Structure 1
Amino acid sequence: MPSAIVTGATGILGREIVFELGRHPQQWPTVHALSRSRKEDYPSNVVHSHIDLTSSADDMANDLQNVRGEYIFFAAYLQQDTEQGNWDVNGAMLDNFLQALAKTGAIKNVKRIILVTGCKQYGVHLGATKVPMTEDDKWLTGDDRPPNFYYNQQNILHRFCKEHDIEWTVTYPNDVIGYAEGNFMNLSTAVGLYAAISKELGQELVFPGSPEFYVRFDSFTDSKLHAQFCAWAAMEPRAANQAFNVVNGDAESWQHMWPKVASYFGMKVKPDQFETAWSSKVAGYLGMDAGGVQNLQDRPPIADFANSMGLKGHPVTHQSRVEQVIDLVKWSQRSDVKKGWKTLAEREGLKKDALEKATWTFLGFVLGRNYEVVVSMSKARKAGWTGYIDTWEALEGVFEELAEAKILPKRDS
């Protein structure tokens, strides 16, 4: 029976991989969960080991002396201030970890390595992409493109696996919905806190991002579904040496989900939430004292495909932007917001530091994009993957988990 090694075991994606494998001890009798610290209890078949992925290969090899596994799930990620920093640090973490396994001899047991990346693969952080995004889309490597650390990691993985005759699989999740504390890209916690505090302040729920994105499509990844995919991909012959998009499989937008968020917290969406901020597609934003506009890269990713797709000169190839009706970072620092949270947290017995730990910058970007994000699941479907989850049900489920963890108030009855 197979054994596994999971890095990033406390992260929003790695944590769920650990628990997914932990739920099946007959199939996965030993699961090594690797992280700097242990934050919660694990199933009986999970063994936690300390590791600092920013250390050298020699230091990691010392920590990995007793760690063996046939399948490696590398889900670790360390956010840096620059894209070059992301390239250097995250590439070194993967490279040193793999070299450490070679030093201990554990690599001789490894059959497949599953690398978790994301849809930065397609440049979703740079502006409008070709839609739908498919795994055969060319990499954005032009002179005017910033370094993409996912490319560095995949090149490292490919070279290492070729050298050691090991199979690999790469996943591309997007806008992850999941539970994790202190995670850089935690969409659910910030959305929930924003709604709960808005209610505490006696307000209707206002979408803080782009009016344009509000009515466009987005693709989300439930962290539990992604973990199920990783377990499937580890054992599936058709997943060998392939990269796959991993999203929920439905067509979703915030115009559909935002009223559901409001209802969950016992609120209503403000009917004219965009009236003072949005005049027309030509005029753009007006009176955005609380929010603002941030231009992204001069040439969005779709510009690289413009000529072949007949889109040269089309407005979609012009510079994309992030638009915020409400600047969430500034909002989270307002005195009335802090006071409202303090009152709510004390009354409901919630963790008082949740507000300051929430990822407001990330949520502002995710909700503020003025372009849609559509990810194709065709390749995974053709390979035999049938997993699916309704995105609202995924978000609702995480709200419930966060309530149990005393981060959000319980559902309004």
Structure 2
Amino acid sequence: MSSALVTGATGMTGSAIIHHLIKDGSYEKVYSFSRRNPGNQHPKVQHVPMDLQSSVEAMAHSLNGVSAEYIYFCAYLARDDPTELLHVNVTLLSNFLQALKATGADKKIKRFILTCGFKQYGVHLGQAKQPFLEDDPLLENIEGVSWPPNFYYEQQRVLTEAAAKGGWEWIATLPEDVLGYARGNFMNEASSIGLYCAVSKALPGSELPFPGSKANYFTFNCWTSANLHAKFCLWAAKAPGAGNNIFNVMNGDTESFQNLWPHLATRFGCKIPDPMFPNGGVLNTKGYSSYESLTIPLQNRPPLQASASSLGLSSDPLVKKSPELFLQVDPEKWARREDVNEAWASLRDKYNLDQKAWDEATWDFLVLTMGRDWSCVASMSKARKLGWTGYADTWEELEDTFRELEEGGVLPPAEQLRRDF
């Protein structure tokens, strides 16, 4: 029988991993680490209060008497400044590893699974070579071009060094746009999309404009179910040959908003505007006359620059021009509109919804995922060759997430919403 330790237990990925560890009969003990108790009432789960921003000594005290063969590290702290983001998140991991060593808990480790993401490939910086492969070059001062620091790279270096010294194995997972729900945690794309759709239904006319650019509407992307990611992590923890590797983790299908948006409109009872893109969706031109658009020039070269020589694109304008994000509806300004807030208030009061869901909604998720004009598609071949067969349908996972959000008082029940408005 095995034991597991999960950090970031109140987040989407961490809570999903705990859920699947509970169901896995090969695990007899699960330690959940977070500042707030996630409320898992199960005999094999023991919550350990821990602040990963505390000192090594404080964490070692919390770890007293705690050890596990398999560690799932899902902790993450958001920061706007890339340098601060790197410092905070690398320190979290480094101090935790030192605390494990200080207590001797590192001697029991077999594999340590670190959750990272597609920022590994610079999806937030511009177009990169597609599909993403785990051995693609890192975005670090290639051919005289520099990019903002990437904390995933440094975390992986810290983890690799600790594993080599400790004699255990590591794994880093790269999910993209994770779909899931964790109670009290509103930092996810699905809740922002769901709130946008529900409020749009309650507004006069019930139209559902696509906030992003026309190019984004037609790009291809991958999403990752939090449940599928959890299943992958449990598989990777014990799969022969999987140790000391980085893995892309996606649902396995390829999707686009041109397919998802009509599904969303149907589910929430909204109407698809026609034309969807007034003025032809031309970049930097106003879309809907009643909404404010948004343009964000990025200050870096696109990640494609890292592969330009091997692709024969060194002099191509595609790799020379700094990218831009463009949205015909600015989500953050939309969420501050008086009519939008009145519509939200009517939904909140009618269906007894959680005001925190609105106050803490992360509209900046939509700025990136809908404002970019480049695809984000990765290969799962590396994991498939080792025996991974997991698959999830992205729309079905999104619907399941919406149902969880409805049960959690974040979104109104879709069937009632369609009937009432």
CA contact under 8 A between 2:213 and 2:281: conserved in structure 1?
no
CA distance in 1, matches of 2:302, 2:183: 32
Counterpart position of 2:276: 273
TM-score w.r.t. length of structure 2: 0.94
Matched, 1:10 2:10: yes
| CA shift digits 1:252-276 (9 cap, x unpaired) | 0000001001111112211212113
1:114 is matched with which residue? 113
The residue type equivalent to 1:39 in the other structure is P
Identify which range, 319-328 or 108-117, moves more after superposition. 319-328
One-letter amino acid of the counterpart of residue 187, structure 1: E
Asked whether the equivalents of residues 184 and 362 of structure 1 are also in contact (C-alpha less than 8 Å), the reply is no
Letter in structure 1 aligned against 2:65: N
Residue 183 to residue 126, structure 1, CA distance change in 2 (3 Å): farther
Q: Name the TM-score, length of structure 1 as normaliser.
A: 0.96
> How many angstroms apart in 2 are the aligned matches of 1:85 and 1:274?
38
Q: 1:8-157 to 2 correspondence within 5 Å? A: 8-24=8-24, 26-142=25-141, 144-157=146-159
C-alpha change, 1:378 and 1:188, in structure 2 (3 Å) is: same
Tell me if structure 1 keeps the 8 A contact 2:211–2:329. yes
C-alpha separation between the residues in 2 aligned to 1:297 and 1:320?
8
Instruction: Determine the C-alpha separation between the residues in 1 that align with 2:65 and 2:265.
Output: 49
Q: For 2:115 and 2:236, how far apart are their aligned partners in 1?
A: 12
Q: 2:388 aligns with which of 366, 370, 385?
A: 385
1:340 to 2:343 alignment = yes
Aligned to 1:362: 365
Letter in 2 for 1:40: G
Measured in 2, the distance between the counterparts of 1:86 and 1:178 equals: 23
**After superposition, what is the alpha-carbon deviation per residue over 1:287-337, rounded to whole angstroms, capped at 9, x for unaligned?**
256012112243100011111111233343232221111111111111111
Give yes or no for contact 2:187–2:360 (8 Å, CA) kept in 1: no
Q: What do residues 14-61 of structure 1 show as CA deviations (whole Å, max 9, x unaligned)?
A: 11011110122x211101010001133343211111000011111100
**In structure 2, what is the Cα distance between the partners aligned to 1:272 and 1:65?**
62
Secondary structure in 1 matching 2:153: helix
> What SS does structure 1 have at the residue aligned with 2:12?
coil
> Residue deviations 1:231-266, cap 9 Å, x none?
000011121111100001101000000100111111
Stretch of structure 1 that moved more, 361-370 or 48-57: 361-370
CA distance in 1, matches of 2:352, 2:166: 52
Residue number in structure 1 paired with 2:200: 198
**Which of 182, 187, 190 is 1:188 aligned to?**
190
CA RMSD of aligned residues (A): 1.4
The secondary structure found in structure 2 opposite 1:238 is coil
- The runs of at least 4 aligned residues of structure 1 exceeding 3 Å deviation read 181-185, 313-316
CA distance in 2, matches of 1:297, 1:218: 23
Q: For the residues of structure 1 that align with 2:46 and 2:100, how far apart are their CA atoms?
A: 17
> Residue type of the partner of 2:18?
V
Moved more, 30-39 or 349-358: 349-358
Residues in 2 aligned to 1:285 and 1:180: alpha-carbon distance in whole angstroms: 36
Distance in 1 (CA, whole Å) between partners of 2:325 and 2:185 is 22
Greater displacement, 360-369 / 224-233: 360-369
Give me the whole-angstrom Cα distance separating, in 1, the residues matched to 2:183 and 2:370. Answer: 21
Distance 1:336 1:322 in 2: 26
In 2, the alpha carbon distance for the partners of 1:114 and 1:353 equals 31
Q: CA deviation at 1:184?
A: 6.8
Do 1:245 and 1:377's aligned partners in 2 also have CA atoms closer than 8 Å?
Answer: yes
Q: Match of 2:151, as an amino acid?
A: F
Q: CA deviation at 1:412?
A: 2.2
State the AA in 2 paired with 1:12.
Answer: M
- Matched to 1:79, the amino acid is A
Q: Which of 222, 226, 229 is matched with 1:223 structurally?
A: 226
* Alpha-carbon distance between aligned partners in 2 of 1:362 and 1:182, rounded to the nearest angstrom: 18
Deviation at residue 211 of structure 1 after TM alignment: 1.1
Where does residue 159 of structure 1 map in the other structure?
161
1:258 maps to which residue?
Answer: 261
Note if contact 1:248-1:388 (Cα within 8 Å) is conserved in structure 2. Answer: yes
Q: Which residue identity lines up with residue 65 of structure 1 in the other structure?
A: N
Cα distance in 1 between the residues matched to 2:82 and 2:257 = 29
Instruction: Look up the match of 1:406.
Output: 409
Equivalent position SS for 1:237 = coil
Percent identity of paired positions between Structure 1 and Structure 2: 45
